[in-house]
Structure 1
């Protein structure tokens, strides 16, 4: 039998595109990277083989390697960070970390859910009915509840639905600026309501509100200043007095409490809560879900059934509605064990000191007193006594850019690690990260 001569053109041995795309490892990457990216990688490797830069028999292995590299380099979203600042609701770190129950609820809700379906009847239902029930159970003083996508949206929806083209009467001392330079009066005015400012920056009296009420008044508004305080010669009108005035003139009273605390907490006596505001006569209360409540980013509206229904039917409600993941996480936060925010807020100082001393021994730092903070505009000026590991200042940058990423506090020429917001289960990871940062290039 005559032996066939070798093919003089090795390019004929380059695997075909359809064969490469059918390989299991390539199919798996197509689901992750998308068809366009995968085909581009395959063509690039084939072209390299045609130019003689790669042996035909190495094409399959190279395609797999290049796809792995593309997957590793692909942006996957925010980087997870260990919060060692002692600030519980850290806005730059995404505010409240979710509880294990809320995380599982998000995973469960990632597929199809009954977000707007009554499974018993098979007909359409009110959006987020389960979350609404959880809110009403957590705050029985409310007759109804509505969830939107953030706290600012809740306030804007309330003032728009009640006072578009009309007056919102509010104290000058409560026209706050919130994060990223957004100002309360700009947000409200952007949706068509007119702000009627009363009183002065430091003193506002009941008569100021009364004098401003007229035929064009859509609602009275009281805003908790949250992230600042005015001290000294001051005066403000409490919710019960404002509520009586609102009832006298048949206009609704909206109270924005900011932080989302549903019930009073003795640790934060000056922080308003939704239950007290409603019992004092507020018609609607608006708040954030990702601050002291400890849930996902969400805006919460609680109060009179007719007014909540009015908000829910307003066209703007569609634009600011919460998605199924936020609804699921919020319900789980309300129904489950205390979320991380609550646990960090009420952390045992002795237990914190024991953990801090253990870490200091492990990494060679010293233990110093350190006050944590609520953060996110909540309870400004209220210290949360605790402890921190003191390290050289230059360690901070290496911690921020390491794996895992760690955010410490830099203060008075030192890097401070406060464990209040670090889950105890992560103490080992934090210790390893600190050791690497103290001895760069030695691992």
Structure 2
């Protein structure tokens, strides 16, 4: 605020400025005490001082207040709003009505109750993270879950890092530094965020040896690329795109047989690796980790927070001698996971021991297999609620939609769904009206995220479970357009 001398202010303005109560006076009021109890005196002092400064600027700008208006109450109210805004976490719960179940920007897989309880336990109590309770000596954190991972995948050994990109980076750094890795050109995928397989190779100190073409690679291409500098053969499962038409790729077992015949290991990056055959749940088929191991892969890397349905993690499974070498690499310590990840991962893996109960207990699978009729009934219930809220400016209809799995898993496959479509009631193209509505939904206490497509704002209800429906309905009354 620029300084203004007393003689430049008229008498009325000086009188108004004199009415602004001192900070200490406001702090000593009964209205301030609940704020002090909740936020502490230091924060409240700062907020009231800022509110007083803002009020003085308003008065100097010509804003007038009725003589009966309590400026002390105004300062308390302004400070309260400021404190509440500052205390609001930046990481907030949202309604994912985008139609993408494993949404990378929204945290991917939702953890089942068993994992949530385990994380709370790990947050509030000391844990035997690296302590062997049987011997009383220091332990290895991988020992907590590697036996379970091996049981479910058929691998000899396993280790866990913080995501699948880290798993690939660590594998290449440990086994192929300053050597060549043979990969089909059609499998040089971009994982996301402009993070590509060639980039990982470079960061790991390995040299990429591309073979084949974008659409066709043959076994002889792998064979002819092998030389004295070859460290391993690698296949990357193209989980986030599909090439159709005149194509040819080489199977895992064929590449593995060639690698072993030439005395080399063979690695597979499965990306969204799943531990069960999804076809049994009516979902598109995706290669499982066990199938890949049984096909001859010496190492398999995959994510924990995609189709597996657990926390963010990168799992490496395979031959014991190779896993030992990977675990000894200095990068392993930098990329290792903490107790919260391990606490969440173990109960998720435990669920796979009872596959007949998996659809009910694993949140990701429950959402992916949710019957379209359930979402249709839900859309019918919510359509009238949302129409009343929006009034005559928009039309709300319950319509069939198509969901997708997301996070690069099965990119061309879609799941029949149902949801709500909101359009400009005047019949005009959506444009600004839909963007305004989309912004208003994002501004709700628990933001609602949909997608604009075909001149409609669409709310796919696949991820709106019954337990959250009441919250969604209740906050519709707060929608301001």
- For the criterion TM > 0.5, the same-fold answer is yes
Q: Decide which of 124, 132, 142 is 1:118's aligned counterpart.
A: 132
Change (3 A) 1:152 1:436: same
**TM score, norm. by length of structure 1:** 0.83
Report if the CA contact (8 A) 1:372-1:384 is conserved. Answer: yes
Within 1, Cα distance between the matches of 2:113 and 2:190? 33
1:309 maps to which residue? Answer: 324
1:384 maps to which residue? Answer: 415
Report if the CA contact (8 A) 1:256-1:286 is conserved. Answer: yes
Within 2, Cα distance between the matches of 1:45 and 1:417? 41
Deviation of 1:153 after TM superposition, in Å, equals 0.4
Change (3 A) 1:47 1:149: closer
**TM score, norm. by length of structure 2:** 0.77
1:282 maps to which residue? Answer: 297
Q: Decide which of 369, 373, 393 is 1:350's aligned counterpart.
A: 373
Report if the CA contact (8 A) 2:278-2:285 is conserved. Answer: no
Deviation of 1:121 after TM superposition, in Å, equals 2.8
Which whole-Å deviations, capped at 9, do the CAs of 1:294-329 have from their partners, x for residues lacking one?
111110111111111111111111111111111111
Q: Does 1:186 align with 2:199?
A: yes
Count of aligned residue pairs for this structure pair:
407
1:5 maps to which residue? Answer: none
What runs of 5+ residues in structure 1 fail to find an aligned partner? Answer: 1-13, 16-22, 31-37, 54-58
| SS state at 2:450 partner | strand
| 264-273 vs 414-423, greater mean Cα deviation | 264-273
Within 2, Cα distance between the matches of 1:270 and 1:430? 34
Which whole-Å deviations, capped at 9, do the CAs of 1:233-277 have from their partners, x for residues lacking one?
111000010110011011111101110212221144442221110
RMSD: 3.1
Which whole-Å deviations, capped at 9, do the CAs of 1:41-91 have from their partners, x for residues lacking one?
558979999xxx9xxxxx9xx99x969954651352312111011211111
Within 2, Cα distance between the matches of 1:70 and 1:436? 21
1:369 maps to which residue? Answer: 400
Report if the CA contact (8 A) 1:131-1:328 is conserved. Answer: no
| SS state at 1:246 partner | helix
| SS state at 1:390 partner | strand
Which whole-Å deviations, capped at 9, do the CAs of 1:331-383 have from their partners, x for residues lacking one?
12222453221111111122222222222233333211101000100001101
Deviation of 1:426 after TM superposition, in Å, equals 0.6
Report if the CA contact (8 A) 1:363-1:435 is conserved. Answer: no
Within 2, Cα distance between the matches of 1:195 and 1:311? 19
| SS state at 1:218 partner | strand
Q: Decide which of 351, 354, 363 is 1:340's aligned counterpart.
A: 363
Within 2, Cα distance between the matches of 1:46 and 1:354? 53
| 99-108 vs 219-228, greater mean Cα deviation | 99-108
Within 2, Cα distance between the matches of 1:434 and 1:296? 31
What runs of 5+ residues in structure 2 fail to find an aligned partner? Answer: 1-23, 26-32, 57-71, 352-357, 388-395, 424-429
Within 1, Cα distance between the matches of 2:50 and 2:286? 65
1:324 maps to which residue? Answer: 339
